[in-house]
């Protein structure tokens, strides 16, 4: 079997078009959703993410306020800026780009964000609500994965899902979301990680594989059941002298061999990646609607 490719760029564009029309509709009610993005330091990868977020806001007509703070910014100053945004009525979503420089403790910074504006879904209040199935902001990458599965017609209910990776940003939340009693839940989920014995034995049972280990070639064809759905969340740079920038991006899945066994597979780039920023826009629009007392 040769897999059908899940085109994350196309799904993201469709969702952004839906959001753009919702934003235009909100404008007629004098509501303009706003997103604040804070970057500390000048890590080039983080800077390009932040630029892309600002551009995405412009594209669908959101207000955005991007702040780039110097590497040596004090933790209290960062928290003061977050608090300023908490009280700014133009801002409905606040995102502090992670990772932060080493001298800043991420925990208190995330705690300082008003949970009602935590469009990343990283605040413990939102994490807790997600786990117990209450309305909350869902974290963007796992939320994007669910949208890809849903819009590709994948049967989640009753499926055996194997998640490889247990990060707070992807592995833990996606596993939780997939076991909820919901349209995108009711799956049977196994979470594998660096201390798992016989990773291949677990992955071979999966109807849906979610690879979020952060290591190239974690999933090879011999580990994949014929007809499985494969979602590759990895973004890894590997040296490539034939590219102008000296590297290329690969996922966690050995794409060329696995696509011969899977029924559906996401590429890297162009799979999960384009969905993450889109779900951030989605959460920001949802936040503005909630703040205005509208059904989100
Ligand atoms: N760094 C990498 N991914 C993310 C994300 O989704 N949100 C934030 N705030 N930082 C990130």
Q: How much is the pLDDT for 45?
A: 87
179 shares a domain with 73: no
Q: How much is the pLDDT for 295?
A: 79
Determine if ligand 1 sits within 6 Å of the CB of residue 40.
no
94 shares a domain with 57: yes
| Mean pLDDT along residues 46-56 | 93
Closest CA to 56 of 292, 250, 273, 287: 273
Q: Give the CATH number of the domain where residue 40 resides.
A: 3.40.50.10860
In a domain, 13, yes or no: no
Q: How much is the pLDDT for 143?
A: 98
DSSP 119-163: TT--SHHHHHHHHTT-S-PPPHHHHHHHHHHHHTT---TT-EEEE
Out of 97, 252, 261, 286, the active site residue is 97
In a domain, 21, yes or no: no
Q: For the chain, how far is it from start to end, CA to CA, in angstroms?
A: 41
50 shares a domain with 100: yes
Out of 22, 118, 120, 172, the active site residue is 120
Dist CA 247 CA 296 (whole Å): 41
232 shares a domain with 163: yes
Active site residue 120: yes
Q: How much is the pLDDT for 100?
A: 97
154 shares a domain with 108: no
| Mean pLDDT along residues 82-96 | 98
Q: Measured in angstroms, how far is the CA atom of residue 206 from the centroid of ligand 1?
A: 28
Out of 53, 117, 172, 261, the active site residue is 53
In a domain, 10, yes or no: no
DSSP the chain: --PEE--HHHHHHHHHHHHHHHHHHHHTTT---EEEEEEES--HHHHHHHHHHHHHHHHHT-EEEEEEE-TT--HHHHHHHHHHHHT-TT-SEEEE-SSPPTTS-HHHHHHHS-GGG-TT--SHHHHHHHHTT-S-PPPHHHHHHHHHHHHTT---TT-EEEEE---TTTHHHHHHHHTSSSTT---EEEEE-TT-S-HHHHHTT-SEEEE-SSSTTSB-GGGS-TT-EEEE---EEEE-TTSTTSEEEE-SB-HHHHTTT-SEE--SSSSSHHHHHHHHHHHHHHHHHHHTT---
Please say whether the beta carbons of 162 and 223 come within 8 A.
no
Determine if ligand 1 sits within 6 Å of the CB of residue 286.
no
Determine if ligand 1 sits within 6 Å of the CB of residue 98.
yes
User: For residue 296, is pLDDT > 80?
Assistant: no
In a domain, 9, yes or no: no
User: What does the pLDDT look like over 159-189, one tens digit per residue?
Assistant: 999 999 999 999 999 999 999 999 999 999 9
In a domain, 259, yes or no: yes
Nearest-CA residue for atom 2 of ligand 1: 98
51 shares a domain with 145: no
Between vectors from CA 23 to CA 40 and to CA 120, what angle results, nearest 5°?
35
In the predicted model, what is the mean pLDDT of the chain?
97
155 shares a domain with 80: no
In a domain, 126, yes or no: no
Q: How much is the pLDDT for 1?
A: 84
User: What does the pLDDT look like over 200-238, one tens digit per residue?
Assistant: 999 999 999 999 999 999 999 999 999 999 999 999 999
Which atom of ligand 1 is least distant from the CA of 139?
6
215 shares a domain with 163: yes
Determine if ligand 1 sits within 6 Å of the CB of residue 97.
yes
| Mean pLDDT along residues 182-197 | 98
251 shares a domain with 144: yes
Which atom of ligand 1 is least distant from the CA of 280?
6
Active site residue 129: no
Task: Choose the residue to mutate in 39, 169, 235, 281 for probing ligand 1, maximizing ligand atoms within 8 Å of C-beta.
Answer: 169
CB burial of 163-178 (b: ≥16 within 10 Å; e: otherwise) equals bbbbeebbbbbbbbbb
Paired tokens of 283: 């959460």
Q: Give the CATH number of the domain where residue 205 resides.
A: 3.40.50.720
pLDDT band at 35 (very low <50, low <70, confident <90, very high): very high
In a domain, 266, yes or no: yes
The boundaries of the domain holding residue 41 are 29-115
171 shares a domain with 268: yes
| Mean pLDDT along residues 96-119 | 98
In a domain, 20, yes or no: no
Q: Measured in angstroms, how far is the CA atom of residue 122 from the centroid of ligand 1?
A: 9
46 shares a domain with 163: no
Q: Measured in angstroms, how far is the CA atom of residue 139 from the centroid of ligand 1?
A: 9
Neighbouring-strand partners of residue 40: 69
DSSP 212-244: -SSSTTSB-GGGS-TT-EEEE---EEEE-TTST
Paired tokens of 223: 């580990």
Q: How many domains does the chain have?
A: 2
83 shares a domain with 167: no
Active site residue 53: yes
């Amino acid at each position: 079997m040769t897999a059908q490719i899940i085109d994350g760029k196309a799904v993201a564009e469709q969702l952004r078009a839906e959001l753009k029309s919702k934003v235009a509709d909100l404008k007629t009610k004098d509501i303009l959703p706003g997103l604040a993005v804070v970057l500390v330091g000048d890590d080039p990868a983080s800077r390009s993410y932040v630029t892309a977020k600002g551009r995405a806001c412009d594209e669908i007509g959101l207000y955005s306020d991007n702040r780039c703070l110097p590497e040596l910014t004090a933790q209290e100053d960062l928290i003061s800026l977050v608090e300023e945004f908490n009280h700014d009525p133009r801002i409905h979503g606040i995102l502090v780009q992670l990772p932060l420089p080493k001298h800043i403790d991420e925990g208190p910074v995330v705690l300082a964000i008003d949970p009602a504006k935590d469009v990343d879904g990283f605040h413990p209040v939102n994490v807790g609500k997600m786990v117990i199935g209450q309305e909350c902001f869902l974290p963007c990458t796992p939320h994007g994965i669910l949208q890809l599965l849903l819009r590709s017609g994948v049967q989640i209910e009753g499926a055996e899902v194997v998640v490889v990776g247990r990060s707070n940003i992807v592995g833990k939340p996606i596993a939780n979301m997939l076991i909820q009693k919901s349209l995108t839940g009711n799956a049977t989920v196994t979470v594998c990680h660096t201390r798992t014995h016989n990773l291949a034995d677990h992955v071979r049972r999966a109807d849906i594989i979610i690879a979020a280990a952060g290591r190239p070639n974690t999933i090879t064809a011999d580990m994949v059941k014929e007809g499985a759905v494969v979602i590759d969340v990895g973004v890894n740079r590997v040296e490539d002298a034939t590219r102008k920038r000296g590297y290329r991006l690969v996922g966690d899945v050995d794409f060329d061999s696995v696509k011969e066994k899977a029924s559906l597979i996401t590429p890297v780039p162009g799979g999960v990646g384009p969905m993450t920023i889109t779900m951030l826009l989605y959460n920001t629009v949802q936040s503005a609607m909630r703040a205005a007392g509208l059904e989100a």
